[in-house]
Amino acid sequence: MTSLARLGRLLLLLTGTAMLAGCSALSAFDTLAPRDPGGRIAAKSVAYGAHPRQKLDVFVPVAAAPNAPVLVFFYGGSWKNGTKDDYEFVGQALAAQGFVTVVADYRLVPEARYTDFLADGAGAVRWACDNATSYGGDGSRIVFAGHSAGAYNAAMVALDPRYLRQAGVNPRNIRAFAGLSGPYDFLPLDPGTAQEVFGAEPDKAATQPISFVRPSSPPAFLATGDQDTTVRPKNTVALAAKLRAAGVPVEEHIYPGLDHADTLLALSRLFRGKAPELAEMMAFLKRHAGEAAGPNRTLGAMR
């Protein structure tokens, strides 16, 4: 067995929580995992704000088409851990699919408080809107994707337009979002991380992405694994049902045999055979990103 295969087996044995807490296994995996040749890193640690954590990386397709759609990826880590430097394999994989891809750090608990990390997410989106053209992207065609706590961030920024508006972003620029193994409907709060992050909020319902579903919400791709014991699949099922009831296009997948970590690892070349997640997510996001807006096509008409 090769060292990379042994590392892959080790990652599969780790719990989702431990892996996503920024442990050395994920860093090692990102260092050693084979990259998608169709994507490359174009910019490293670009500031989108004044705080040291407000930095982002940009990945672009090698064979870039003009006015490519833009994807902002939100990583997980229980809102307390994580670094964009461990997700270069994700950024390159998504760029290889034709998206100008942004992977941003954000402020973490306990230094940050709820809603700081959501404001940071919207700030990274604002940077993407303003700077996409410099990397061959179309800042009016933005989609989100996220895993675990990052899926929560992606859903909240997509569904509650206050964060984008406060950052100076037109919510109509967000064409769709994808959430992988995300917590969207988790009241009452469990002891531990959920209480630490959200317990001080007087309006608990306002911390839940499911509370902000409306008919004008962007289309959603929601996926999880049926073996996920870290964030229960019922979160995905509940949000998908709420979106569907509101008439919002939604694609829901519960992949058999996958756990919490697997839905992240399935984005990598090494574990892509575990589920067709990347192909299905990319097809959905590309479909809803649509064509570049021309002189006779307005965002209002397209949504």
Q: Render pLDDT for 240-277 as a digit per residue (tens, 0 to 9).
A: 999 999 999 999 999 999 999 999 999 999 999 999 99
Token readout for 20 is 């996503």
Query: Domain ranges in the chain?
Result: 3-291
Give the bridge partners for 55, in sequence order: 47
Alpha helices in 132-270 (DSSP H): 149-159, 162-166, 193-198, 234-245, 262-265
Tens of pLDDT, residues 180-191: 999 999 999 999
Q: How sure is the predictor about 297, in pLDDT bands with cuts at 50, 70 and 90?
A: very low
**Burial class (CB within 10 angstroms; exposed 0-12, middle 13-18, buried 19+) of 282:** buried
Q: Rounded CA gap, 145 and 151, in Å?
A: 7
Tens of pLDDT, residues 67-97: 999 999 999 999 999 999 999 999 999 999 9
Position 291 scores a pLDDT of 65
Are 16 and 23 in contact by the 8 Å Cβ rule? The answer is no
Residue 83 CB neighbours (<10 A): 17
DSSP string of 252-290?
EEEETT--TTHHHHTTSTTTGGG-SHHHHHHHHHHHHH-
First-last CA distance in the chain = 51
The residue that leads in pLDDT, 263 or 19, is 263
Q: How far is CA 73 from CA 4, 56, 230, 270, in A?
A: 25, 10, 20, 20
139 CB contacts (<8 Å, ≥6 apart)? 70, 128, 129, 130, 131, 132, 133, 173
Range with lowest mean pLDDT among 7-16, 69-78, 175-184, 188-197: 7-16
Q: How sure is the predictor about 58, in pLDDT bands with cuts at 50, 70 and 90?
A: very high
Q: Which fold has domain 3-291?
A: Rossmann fold (3.40.50)
pLDDT over 90, % of the chain: 83
- Token look-up 């100076």 returns 168
Grouping H, G, I as helix, E, B as strand and the rest as coil, residue 44 is strand
Q: Rounded CA gap, 42 and 62, in Å?
A: 10
**Residue 51 DSSP label:** S
Of the candidates 179, 125, 184, 117, the one whose C-alpha atom is nearest the C-alpha of residue 151 is 179
Are 63 and 136 in contact by the 8 Å Cβ rule? The answer is no
DSSP helix, strand, coil percent of the chain (3-state; round to 5): 40, 20, 40
Q: Which residues of 24-58 are buried (b: 16+ CB within 10 A; e: fewer)?
A: ebbebbbeebebbeebbbbeeebebbebebbbbbb
Position 168 scores a pLDDT of 97
CA angle 26-268-184, nearest 5°? 75
pLDDT at 64 over 80: no
Can you give 119-148 as a three-state secondary structure string?
HHHHHHHHHHHHHHHHHCEEEEEEEEEEEC
Share the mean pLDDT of the chain. Answer: 90
